[in-house]
Chains A and B, each alone.
Chain A
Amino acid sequence: MAKKVIEVKDLHVHFKTFSGTVQAVRGVNFELFEGETLAIVGESGSGKSVTSNALMKLIPQPPGIYAAGEILLNGTDLIPLTDKEMSKIRGNDISMIFQDPMTSLNPTMKVGKQITEVILQHKTISRSEAKIKAIELLNKVGIPFPEKRYSQYPHEFSGGMRQRVVIAIALAADPKLLIADEPTTALDVTIQAQILELMKEIQETSKTSIIFITHDLGVVANVADRVAVMYAGQIVEYGTVNDIFYNPKHPYTWGLLGSMPDLDNEAEERLYTIPGTPPDLIHPPKGDAFAARNEFALAIDYEMEPPMFKVSDTHYAKTWLLHEQSPNIEMPHIVRKRIDSFLAKEAMHHD
C-alpha cells in the first residue's frame, strides 16, 4: 500500500472579524497518499483556499484561528509547530503554487536568483552548484534556453512561462507534497493544457503528491485521482474521480456538473443552475448548509446536519438523500443524460 503523506482530521479554521467570527472551514477530513492527486473543488468562499493555506500554516493569526483538528504530515501534527519549525517544512516537505504568476514572483529580482535563493535556504551547497541546479530545474519545467532565461526578470516572461518559473521554485527543494491553488485559472486554455501536462510529468518522475484546488471541473477530470467537493466550509462529497463524475450523489455536485455546458449541449437546452448564493458563514444555517439552495431538500435538512454516508469503500457523500428512509431521488435529467452519453462514448471506444 502506498505511503500516506498527509492526513487532515476534523480541521476547523475561523476568522475573527468586526461583524463576528467567520467559520471558514468547518470540520474537514481527508488523506493523501504518495504520488496521488487530490482535487478540491468548490465555489469562491467554500473554504478550499483556506484549507490549503492551513496545510502550509499560512493563515495569519490574528484574525485567523485554528479552532480544532489536526494536520498530520508523516504522523506529526503541524498545528502546534512554531513559525521557525514550520519554515523548515515549507519548501522541503510541502510547497505551493499560487494562482497569479504575476504577483507570486518578485519583479525586481532575476528569475535565477529567485530559484537559487530557495535552494540555498534548504540545502547546504555552494552558489555555483545551486546555479547548476536552478538551470536544471528551468530545463525540467520546459523553459527553452535556460542559461539565458536564468538571468532575466519576470517581466521578460509570458504568463505561461512565469507559471513554469513558479513551479520550478516550488520544486527547488524536492517537496513531497505540492499544493496548487488555481494554478491555471489565469492562463489561456492552450497554456493551461501545457502546464497540466507538465505537472503530471513531474508527478510521474518524482512521485510528488499534489493537492489541486480549482473550480474548473474539466481540469479536475483531467488531473485528479480523487476529488473532494467543498461547500460552506465542509467536504460534502468525496470519492475517486470516476465516482464523482459518473456516480455523483450530492445535489450540490449535481448542480456543479449540470451548470457546466459541454460541447454537445443543444442550444435550446437551458443550463441547470443552483439557485441563490452560498450561505453566510458567520451564522452557518442550522442543519444542512446546502438546504436553502437544494431543490431536493427534505424536512430534516433544515433541522439536522447530515453525516457522511458511505456509498462505497472509496465514495462518501454528506446528504440525507442517502439515508435508507429517504425518498428515492434521482439526479436531474440533464446530468443523467450527459453521464450516459459520456459512458456510451466510452463503450464505443472500447468496441
Chain B
Amino acid sequence: MTKNKILEVKALKQYFQSGSTTIKAVDNISFDVYEGETLGLVGESGCGKSTTGRSIINLYNITAGEIIFKGKNVHTNKSKKEKQQFNREMQMIFQDPYASLNPRMTAGEIISEGFKIHGLYRNKQERQKKIYELLHAVGLNSEHANRYAHEFSGGQRQRLGIARALSLDPSFIIADEPISALDVSIQAQVVNLLKDLQKERGLTYLFIAHDLSMVKYISDRIAVMYRGKILEIGKADDIYHHPVHPYTKSLLSAIPLPDPLSEQRRVRIPYEHQEMPENATYYEVDEEHFVYGTEQVVNTWISSR
C-alpha cells in the first residue's frame, strides 16, 4: 500500500501574546498525516496539543509555518469557494459533549446546520433522509431527531457531535479529547464507533488525547508533545515498546495498568527536561520513528535504550 499524505504540517508556530510575554504554545513542529490512518497526539495539559489541532483547522491565524491539506495551503485559501470546500473536508469533534451542542436546537437542526451553509439537500425529504442516515450511522435512531441536547446522555451527545462532524462527508476529522468526559463503559462504545466509521468511510483521524492507553489502542502512529514541541513520533507499537526520548519513557512509566501484581513493581521514571540547542532537529532512529534532539544526545538515548 502506498501512503498518500493527506496533511502536511511544516514548521508550524503558534504564539500567543499575553501582555508583554509571548507564549509559544506550538513551537516549530512538523509532521505528516497519511490518508486513512489515525495519528494520535499525546501530551500533558498545556503542551500545545489542542492548539495544534485548532491551528490545523484554521481556528487561529498561525504565527509561522505552512499547513498543506490535500496539496493546498490552508491558510492562504482566498476565495469563499475554497474556504467552503476546506470546511467540508475537515471537521472537528470536541471534548465536552455538553458545551459543544446548542441547547436551543434539536438534534436534527444541529446535524443539518451545515447543509444550509453549504446549500446541500435543499429538498426537505432529501434532507430528512440524510439526517436519519447520519443518526443511524452513529447508533442513534430517527426518533432522536426532534429531541434537544439535554434529553441525551453524555455518550449519546458525543454520538450527536460525531454525526454533526460527519454531516458534510469530510475526509479528515480532528478529535480533540473526544472521550475524556465520558464514563469508562461509554468510552469503549464511542471508540468502537469511531473505528467502525473510519473503516466504512475511509476517514483520517487526528486523535488528540492524554489517555495513553486509549491512544495506543486507536492510533496507527503517535506523536508525543511536550512544551510546544513534538519530541518523538512513530508507529504506535514502536513508541510504546521501544521509546527513545526520556520524556516518552517517563510518560509511559506513569500509566497505571489494571494488573495489581505488576502495579506493585512498577517504578516511575522521573523526567528532567533538557533544553535543546538551536541546531536540534529530528533524527530517524527506526523506520518512520523520529526523535527530536541533537545527534549526540539522540545517540546516547539510543545506546541506553
Give chain A's interface residues, CB within 8 Å of chain B.
43-44, 159, 188-194, 196-197, 215-222, 224, 241-242, 245-246, 255-263, 265, 267, 270-275, 277, 342, 345-346, 349
> A-facing mask of B127-142, CB < 8 A → 1, else 0?
0000000000000000
User: A245–B188 contact, CB under 8 A?
Assistant: no
Question: Within B223-270, which residues are at the interface with A (CB < 8 Å)?
Answer: 236, 240, 250-251, 253-263, 265-266, 268
A selection of 8 A-B contacts at a CB cut-off of 8 Å is: A193-B254, A222-B256, A224-B260, A261-B214, A263-B240, A273-B192, A346-B262, A349-B265
User: A215–B183 contact, CB under 8 A?
Assistant: yes
Q: Which of the listed residues A44, A196, A224, A261 has the most CB atoms from chain B within 10 Å of its own CB?
A: A261
Smallest beta-carbon distance B106→chain A, Å: 20
User: A346–B271 contact, CB under 8 A?
Assistant: no
Decide yes or no: A273 and B258 within 8 Å by CB, A188-B45, A265-B217, A267-B217 being known contacts. Answer: no
Complex formed: what's the CA distance from A39 to B261 in Å? 16
Decide yes or no: A255 and B185 within 8 Å by CB, A190-B251, A263-B216 being known contacts. Answer: yes
User: B263–A273 contact, CB under 8 A?
Assistant: no
User: B263–A189 contact, CB under 8 A?
Assistant: no
User: B256–A261 contact, CB under 8 A?
Assistant: no
Smallest beta-carbon distance A326→chain B, Å: 24
User: B220 within 8 Å of A by Cβ?
Assistant: yes
Provide the residues of chain A in CB contact with B263, threshold 8 Å: 218, 221-222
> A-facing mask of B166-204, CB < 8 A → 1, else 0?
000000000000000001111111011001000000000
CB-based nearest B residue for A218: B256
Complex formed: what's the CA distance from A189 to B254 in Å? 6
User: B183–A43 contact, CB under 8 A?
Assistant: yes
Smallest beta-carbon distance B209→chain A, Å: 11
Complex formed: what's the CA distance from A277 to B151 in Å? 14
CB-based nearest B residue for A272: B188
CB-based nearest A residue for B214: A261
Provide the residues of chain B in CB contact with A270, threshold 8 Å: 192, 195
User: B189–A242 contact, CB under 8 A?
Assistant: no
User: B185–A43 contact, CB under 8 A?
Assistant: yes
Complex formed: what's the CA distance from A272 to B153 in Å? 20
User: A189–B212 contact, CB under 8 A?
Assistant: yes
User: A190–B250 contact, CB under 8 A?
Assistant: yes
User: A245–B271 contact, CB under 8 A?
Assistant: no
Provide the residues of chain A in CB contact with B253, threshold 8 Å: 193
Beyond A43-B186, A190-B250, 8 additional contacts (C-beta under 8 Å) are A215-B184, A217-B258, A222-B266, A242-B261, A256-B185, A260-B188, A273-B189, A345-B262
Provide the residues of chain B in CB contact with A260, threshold 8 Å: 184, 188, 213, 258
Smallest beta-carbon distance B138→chain A, Å: 14
Decide yes or no: A262 and B185 within 8 Å by CB, A188-B210, A190-B251 being known contacts. Answer: no
User: B44 within 8 Å of A by Cβ?
Assistant: yes
User: B240–A216 contact, CB under 8 A?
Assistant: no
Provide the residues of chain A in CB contact with B257, threshold 8 Å: 218, 221, 262-263
Complex formed: what's the CA distance from A260 to B261 in Å? 18
User: B254–A44 contact, CB under 8 A?
Assistant: no
User: A342–B259 contact, CB under 8 A?
Assistant: yes
User: A197–B268 contact, CB under 8 A?
Assistant: yes
CB-based nearest A residue for B237: A267
Decide yes or no: A221 and B213 within 8 Å by CB, A190-B254, A193-B254, A256-B185 being known contacts. Answer: no
Smallest beta-carbon distance B254→chain A, Å: 4
Complex formed: what's the CA distance from A256 to B186 in Å? 10
User: B262–A259 contact, CB under 8 A?
Assistant: no
Size band of the interface chain B makes with A: 35 or more
Decide yes or no: A273 and B212 within 8 Å by CB, A221-B257, A245-B260, A263-B257 being known contacts. Answer: no
User: B256–A221 contact, CB under 8 A?
Assistant: yes
CB-based nearest B residue for A252: B185
User: B259–A245 contact, CB under 8 A?
Assistant: yes
Smallest beta-carbon distance B186→chain A, Å: 8
Pick the 10 closest A-B CB pairs, nearest first: A218-B256, A259-B188, A261-B217, A271-B188, A188-B44, A193-B254, A274-B185, A43-B183, A217-B258, A221-B260
Smallest beta-carbon distance B148→chain A, Å: 17
Complex formed: what's the CA distance from A274 to B182 in Å? 13
User: A221–B259 contact, CB under 8 A?
Assistant: yes
Smallest beta-carbon distance A256→chain B, Å: 6
Smallest beta-carbon distance A341→chain B, Å: 9
User: B188–A189 contact, CB under 8 A?
Assistant: no
CB-based nearest B residue for A345: B262
User: B260–A219 contact, CB under 8 A?
Assistant: no
Provide the residues of chain B in CB contact with A44, threshold 8 Å: 183
Smallest beta-carbon distance B139→chain A, Å: 10
User: B260–A241 contact, CB under 8 A?
Assistant: yes
Smallest beta-carbon distance B238→chain A, Å: 13
Complex formed: what's the CA distance from A79 to B217 in Å? 46
Provide the residues of chain A in CB contact with B185, threshold 8 Å: 43, 255-256, 259, 273-274
User: B210–A189 contact, CB under 8 A?
Assistant: yes
Q: Which of the listed residues A197, A258, A260 has the most CB atoms from chain B within 10 Å of its own CB?
A: A260
Decide yes or no: A263 and B255 within 8 Å by CB, A222-B263, A245-B260 being known contacts. Answer: yes
Provide the residues of chain B in CB contact with A219, threshold 8 Å: 256
Decide yes or no: A218 and B188 within 8 Å by CB, A43-B183, A261-B216, A263-B216 being known contacts. Answer: no
Provide the residues of chain A in CB contact with B210, threshold 8 Å: 188-189
Partner of B184 from the list A191, A222, A242, A256 (CB cut-off 8 Å) is A256
Complex formed: what's the CA distance from A196 to B258 in Å? 15
User: B155 within 8 Å of A by Cβ?
Assistant: yes
Complex formed: what's the CA distance from A345 to B266 in Å? 13
Provide the residues of chain A in CB contact with B192, threshold 8 Å: 270-271, 273
Partner of A43 from the list B184, B213, B266, B271 (CB cut-off 8 Å) is B184
